[in-house]
Amino acid sequence: MGLYSSKRRPGGRPAAMGGSKSRMQSILGMLLIATFAVVVGVVLWLSFSEKDTRIELSAVDLCPKDQARRPPALYAVLVDQTDPLNELARASVANEVLQRLQLDLEGGGDSPANRLAKVEVWTFTNGGAGKKDNYRVGNTDVQLTKVLSMCNPGSPAKWDYLYRNVDVVKRQHQRFYASLKQILDQSLAFPEAPRSPIIEALYGIGAKVFSAPEVSDAKKQLILVSDLVQGTQDLNFFQSGYKPNFASWRSTPNGRQTLPELRDVAVTAIVIPGTRPDLQTENLLGFWGGLFQAAGAHPTFIRKP
């Protein structure tokens, strides 16, 4: 019985429990230290990687100060200023353009491909010798004016809160869209013009904007705001009884000379109401569909009531 005595040494078990508790505390401490070290390491890695790719932006247009850096994407908005819109239509069209741009620029969660995308707004109307920004295509003058050129700074990304001044990013983001809205509102208010050189304006945009070497590898998008009713001496859709036919026009000297170069450009044509809704038929859209495809573009048409 002496060998199997149930008597225990006083204090024996509490000492064992105390040691177990101490070991558990040590393990927890080490885990906390390791977790803290991992978090600090991730933050430092993100910070240093961001510093390596951080781009200094111009205060003027929010584009990179390094002019050798090419934009990953280029968006051009081209506004036809030949057939005026009423106030309600102007607001509707401006919202349509803004929503489409914002959805495309930020719809993917502010991916790096959309940050620093360049956005330009151009207007066109009837031109003439001596007019500012006059651009001659064949026998037709068009006044083609760039009214805005800015880069999308992007909204604050997921990790920006760790190593960037998020307030600065937010202010840049707000300024970008406020400037864009202001210019669109101004560009959609205009007087009537005697001629409507739409094809010539597209030719100019293709040559001046989308054919520039610095955007050769960029994603390209054009938003055209127009009633699509061409009205020039060489091609006049307002002519009584005229039915637009792309194949017929393409075979003419004017068609061969003025076809725009819009290779790989995604074109969204927002068809605004004009003074001659009777001319805005499926036949008219067929003409423009043929022209855009022959120009190398990928067109989509959106009718505005």
Tell whether 40 and 89 lie within a shared domain.
no
- % of the chain residues with pLDDT over 90: 64
Q: Are 221 and 268 in contact (CB under 8 A)?
A: yes
Residue 6 in any domain: the answer is: no
How far, rounded to the nearest angstrom, does the alpha carbon of residue 75 sit from its chain's CA centroid? 5
- Which pLDDT score is estimated for 27? 72
Q: Per-residue pLDDT tens for 245-256?
A: 999 999 999 999
Residue from 62, 156, 170 nearest 109 by CA: 156
- Which pLDDT score is estimated for 42? 56
Domain count, the chain: 2
Tell whether 21 and 131 lie within a shared domain.
no
Residue 260 in any domain: the answer is: yes
Residue from 196, 85, 209, 88 nearest 148 by CA: 209
Segment among 50-64, 223-237, 290-304 with least mean pLDDT: 50-64
Tell whether 178 and 201 lie within a shared domain.
yes
How far, rounded to the nearest angstrom, does the alpha carbon of residue 76 sit from its chain's CA centroid? 8
Segment among 63-77, 99-113, 182-196 with least mean pLDDT: 99-113
Tell whether 109 and 31 lie within a shared domain.
no
Selected residue with higher pLDDT from 291 and 55:
291
Tell whether 70 and 42 lie within a shared domain.
no
Distance between CA 219 and CA 75 in Å, rounded? 8
* Statement: residue 184 has pLDDT above 90: yes
Task: Read off the pLDDT band of 110 (50, 70, 90).
Answer: very low
Segment among 81-95, 163-177, 179-193, 278-292 with least mean pLDDT: 163-177
Tell whether 24 and 141 lie within a shared domain.
no
Domain of residue 247: give its range: 56-303
Tell whether 149 and 273 lie within a shared domain.
yes
Distance between CA 270 and CA 277 in Å, rounded? 14
Q: Are 64 and 57 in contact (CB under 8 A)?
A: yes
Distance between CA 96 and CA 87 in Å, rounded? 14
The sheet with strand 118-126 has its strands ordered as: 134-137, 140-151, 118-126, 73-80, 219-226, 265-271, 298-303
Distance between CA 98 and CA 31 in Å, rounded? 50
Tell whether 184 and 225 lie within a shared domain.
yes
Please list the alpha-helical segments (H only) found in the chain: 12-53, 87-106, 160-163, 166-187, 198-205, 246-250, 253-258, 282-294
Tell whether 27 and 154 lie within a shared domain.
no
CA distances from 260 to 110, 213, 250 (A): 32, 17, 12
Residue 5 in any domain: the answer is: no
Residue from 245, 260, 241, 252 nearest 290 by CA: 245
- % of the chain residues with pLDDT over 70: 80
Tell whether 263 and 204 lie within a shared domain.
yes
Tell whether 112 and 33 lie within a shared domain.
no
- Residues whose CB is less than 8 angstroms from the CB of residue 57 and which lie 6 or more positions away in sequence, other chains included: 63, 64, 65, 151, 153, 172
Distance between CA 156 and CA 164 in Å, rounded? 9
For the chain, state the CA radius of gyration: 31
Residue 220 in any domain: the answer is: yes
Q: Are 204 and 144 in contact (CB under 8 A)?
A: yes
Across the range 186-199, mean pLDDT stands at 96
- The two beta strands, 140-151 and 134-137, are antiparallel
Tell whether 140 and 91 lie within a shared domain.
yes
Selected residue with higher pLDDT from 266 and 241:
266
Q: Per-residue pLDDT tens for 154-171?
A: 876 654 554 457 788 888
pLDDT averaged over every residue in the chain: 86
Q: Is 226 exposed, middle or buried (CB count within 10 Å of its CB: 0-12, 13-18, 19+)?
A: buried
